[in-house]
Amino acid sequence: MMRPLLGLIVLHLLFVNACAAIPDAQSVEDTGPPITATPPVTATPPVTVAPSPAPTQSFLPTASPARVVQAAPPISDVVVEMLPQPSLPTATVSAIPTPTPRSPDMPPRVGLQIGHLRSRELPDELAHLRASTGAVWNGLTEAQVNEAIAVQVRELLIAAGVEVDLLPATVPPGYDADAFIAIHADGGAPSARGWKIATPWRASAASQMLMAAVAATYGAITGLPEDRNGVTINMRGYYAFNYRRHTHAIARTTPAIIVETGFLTNAADREVIVSRPDLAARGIAEGVLNYLRQRDPTDGAALLPPEWPILYTTTAATVYAGPADTTRVIARVPADSRVFVFNQQGDWYEAMIRAGDKRYQGWIRVDQTGVATTSPAGPAAEPPVTNP
Ligand SMILES: [Zn+2]
C-alpha cells in the first residue's frame, strides 16, 4: 500500500535534488551570491539513508534507484557510527601496495570530514590535537561552519547515488573510500581571504585529479577568490592524511584533499561560507562528482602515492625554490640533514628538509642525498603533524 506513495516521494526528492545539484557557473556569476544577514545555522535538518540496491550502471541521479530519506537525529550525533570495518594500516608502507578492489557495480563511497568536530574525542595518538578547535568568529566556531557545508555536500552526493560517510575529527582507523575530503575554514587577519585545496605531501595521481576537479568548481560556483600561495605545510601535513604515523588516518590508497573553504575572519568570505553554505557545498560536491565521473575506477596504480626511503643529505647542500640551481636559494643545510621526499623531477627532489630545529620545503639535488648508512642523531624528521 505504501509503495506508490513512497515512490512519488522519492521521485520528488530526486527531482528537487537533481535540479539543485546542476551547477552553472555562469548563472551563479550572473545572479551573484545573494547575501543574507541571517545568523549562521549549525546544521540543516540532517537525513539518514536507508539501505538501497546499488545502482546498476552509473551513480548519476537518473540511474540511482529508490533511496528513502527520512528524519534522523542531529547530524553531530550520527556522523561516525556507520562506518566500514576498521582495519589497521599496514605496518610497513614499503610493502607492495594493494588497493582495495572495488566491484564495478558498487556505488562510489566518499568520506566528508567535518574539520575539528569533536576534536576533544581524538584518540591518545592524537591527544596533542584535542585542543585544536580551529578558527572562531564572533562566537561562531569553525566546526559549525564546516558542518553546515558538509551536511549539504552529503545531500548532493547522495542525490547522485554516492554513499557518504560524515566523519568528525577522529577518522576511523585506515579509513578507505573512493575519496576523502576534509572540510575546513580559515582564520587570519581580517584582510586575508580566499579558498585553497591541498593533497597529502605524497600525492597519488588520484589525489591530484580530485584536487584539480574540486578546484575547478569551487571558485566558479562560490565566486570566492583562490588564496594562491596560501597552501601551507599545515595543510599538506594534515594529521588525517598521515597513515604512516597514525592508526586513525585514511588508508594509503584513499584519494584525499583538504579544502579550506574561505576565511571565517573575512567579511566577504563569510557571505558565502557562513551565509550561503549551499554554494560552498555545491562547489565541493560538483567537483567530487566530476572526479568520480572522470576517473578510471579500475586504475589501481592511480591510487598509489609515490614512496621514497628515508634519505639524508650526503654533503652540505642547497635547498632551492624550484628544480634548478638558477632558482631562489631557500637554505643551505649541512650533511646528515633529514630529507622527506614527496616529489621528483629529473635530477631533483621536492622535499621537506630538516636541519636542526628548522624545516625547509624546496628542491634539492638527487645526487646530494642518500640512504643513511649510520643513524644520524636527532629526532625522526617527517613533516609536522597539523590540524589547520
Ligand atoms: Zn580547520
CB 198 within 8 A of CB 2: no
Q: Kindly state the average pLDDT of the residues 333-346.
A: 95
Q: What is the pLDDT of residue 228?
A: 85
Compute, in angstroms, the gap from residue 283 CA to the centroid of ligand 1: 18
Q: Which residues surround ligand 1, an ion (CB under 5 A)?
A: 115, 134, 184, 388
Compute, in angstroms, the gap from residue 298 CA to the centroid of ligand 1: 33
Beta bridge partners of 198: 258
Structural domains for the chain: 60-303 (3.40.630.40), 311-370 (2.30.30.40)
CB 11 within 8 A of CB 69: no
Choice among 81-85, 113-117, 223-227, 345-349 with the minimum mean pLDDT: 81-85
pLDDT grade for 297, boundaries at 50, 70 and 90: confident
In this structure, what are the phi and psi dihedrals at residue 333, rounded to the nearest 5 degrees? -120, 150
**pTM greater than 0.85 (yes/no):** no
Compute, in angstroms, the gap from residue 142 CA to the centroid of ligand 1: 7
Q: What is the pLDDT of residue 387?
A: 81
Distance CA 380, CA 280 (A): 39
Model confidence pLDDT, tens digit, residues 188-203: 999 999 999 999 999 9
Compute, in angstroms, the gap from residue 259 CA to the centroid of ligand 1: 9
* Choice between 307 and 147, residue whose per-residue pLDDT is larger: 147
Model confidence pLDDT, tens digit, residues 123-134: 999 999 999 999
Question: Is pLDDT at 16 greater than 60 in this prediction?
Answer: no
Name which of 315, 319, 331, 314 is nearest 370 in CA terms: 314
Distance CA 337, CA 328 (A): 20
Question: Is pLDDT at 272 greater than 80 in this prediction?
Answer: yes
Distance CA 282, CA 279 (A): 5
Compute, in angstroms, the gap from residue 261 CA to the centroid of ligand 1: 10
Question: Is pLDDT at 78 greater than 60 in this prediction?
Answer: no
What share of the chain in percent tops pLDDT 70?
A: 71
Q: Kindly state the average pLDDT of the residues 169-177.
A: 96
- Name the CA dihedral angle for 139, 384, 327, 356, rounded to a multiple of 10 degrees: 130
Compute, in angstroms, the gap from residue 161 CA to the centroid of ligand 1: 28
